[in-house]
Amino acid sequence: MNILVIAPHPDDEVLGMGGTIKKLSKKNKIILCIVSEGTTAQYKNKKMIQVRRDSCKKSAKILGISQTQFLDYPDMRLNLSHLDINKKLEEIIEKYKPEIVYTAPKNDLNLDHQVVFSSTLVACRPKSGVKQILCYEIQGNTKVPFVPNVFENIEKEFSYKIKGFKMYKSEIEEFPNPRSIIAIENLAIMRGIESGFKKAEAFELIKKIKK
- The conformation of residue 74, written as its DSSP 8-state character, comes to P
Please give the residue range of the domain that contains residue 113.
2-208
CA gap 135, 47 in Å, rounded: 31
Beta bridge partners of 205: 134
Residue by residue, pLDDT tens for the chain (211 residues) are 999 999 999 999 999 999 999 999 999 999 999 999 767 667 666 788 888 999 999 999 999 999 999 999 987 788 878 899 999 999 999 999 999 999 999 998 889 999 999 999 999 999 999 999 999 999 988 889 999 999 999 999 999 999 999 999 989 999 999 999 999 999 999 999 999 999 999 999 999 998 7
Domain of 131, CATH number, reads 3.40.50.10320
- Residues of 12-34 as b/e, b for ≥16 C-beta within 10 angstroms? bbbbbbbbbbbbbbeebbbbbbb
Question: Based on the structure, what is the number of domains in the chain?
Answer: 1
Longest dimension (CA), the chain: 50
Contact 134, 204 (CB under 8 A): yes
